């Protein structure tokens, strides 16, 4: 099942022994588009502290009630390593985080989720598997915030076509399937879904997302792949 990240931000996070706050942001891997973490806004419970939650901890998702169940206790989350969410999350911080919970690192192994095999998603193949998305892949800076990338301009092969307004997340596989683009006047003010497989790269210095499609390609998009704005 898919959900727009904008809808997901307000969802309540419920642990095995109570609520801990709500979803504030999503961090995705800009090489595989896997959602690596949710940023939890804990409010007064942890003195306004924000914490990261990995899909390894996710349980049942109740869309109607807007609740994501988390298979952790409040005490476990309270004792988790501090991560400064206003800065890029480094591999060093991730290793400490995964050791704390006893999970195998997704960076170990050949799949999108390493040797853990969760969620069951195959890694990308073909040219896109080796693409660099605006940074050196040896660096720790590989996670990106959906809120930070929202508003980035979209560059087709023949010019600008709009800006990022959301991300369509598959909540079974925990991977971003499409980006939602506000196309503006050139396409009747519609919002367009562009598959992440059509994204060539993200340029963070220019705040732009480059896609491998032309405006004509987008106009030929099947009706079910185009949604009305708003």
Say if 2-116 and 146-227 have the same CATH topology: yes
pTM of the shown model:
0.81
Domain 146-227: give its CATH architecture: Roll (2.30)
Mean pLDDT for the stretch of residues 96-104: 90
Q: Which CATH class is domain 2-116?
A: mainly beta
Residue 126 has pLDDT above 50, yes or no: no
Return the DSSP state at 34. Answer: B
CA distance 199 to 211: 4
Mean pLDDT for the stretch of residues 188-203: 88
Q: What is the CA angle 35-211-220, rounded to 5? A: 110
For residue 73, the model assigns a pLDDT of 95
Report whether the peptide linkage leading into residue 119 is cis, meaning its omega lies within 30 degrees of zero.
yes
Q: Which helix (H) or strand (E) element contains residue 170?
A: strand 159-170
The 10 Å Cβ neighbour count of residue 99 is: 11
Question: Which of 12-21, 152-161, 221-230 is least confident?
Answer: 221-230
For residue 137, the model assigns a pLDDT of 39
Q: What is the CA angle 187-225-163, rounded to 5? A: 50
Residue 130 has pLDDT above 50, yes or no: no
Question: Which of 58-62, 135-139, 223-227 is least confident?
Answer: 135-139
């Amino acid at each position: 099942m898919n959900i727009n990240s904008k809808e997901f931000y307000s969802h309540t996070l419920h642990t095995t022994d109570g609520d801990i706050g709500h979803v504030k942001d999503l961090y995705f891997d800009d090489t595989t588009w896997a959602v690596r973490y949710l940023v939890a806004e804990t409010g007064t419970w942890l003195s306004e502290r924000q914490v990261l939650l990995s899909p390894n901890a996710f349980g049942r998702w109740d869309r109607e009630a807007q609740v994501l169940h988390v298979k952790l206790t409040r005490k476990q989350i309270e004792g988790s390593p501090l991560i400064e969410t206003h800065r890029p999350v480094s591999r060093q911080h991730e290793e400490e985080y995964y050791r704390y919970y006893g999970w195998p690192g997704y960076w170990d192994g050949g799949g999108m989720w390493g040797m853990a095999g969760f969620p069951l998603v195959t890694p990308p193949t073909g040219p896109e598997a080796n693409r660099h998305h605006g940074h050196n892949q040896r660096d720790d800076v590989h996670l990106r915030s959906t809120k930070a990338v929202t508003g980035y301009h979209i560059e087709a092969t023949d010019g600008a076509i709009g800006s990022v307004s959301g991300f369509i997340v598959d909540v079974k596989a925990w991977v971003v399937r499409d980006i939602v683009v506000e196309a503006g006047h050139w396409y009747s003010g519609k919002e367009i879904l562009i598959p992440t497989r059509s994204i060539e790269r993200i340029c963070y210095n220019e705040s732009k997302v480059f896609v491998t499609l032309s405006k004509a390609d987008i106009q030929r998009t099947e009706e079910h792949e185009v949604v009305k704005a708003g």
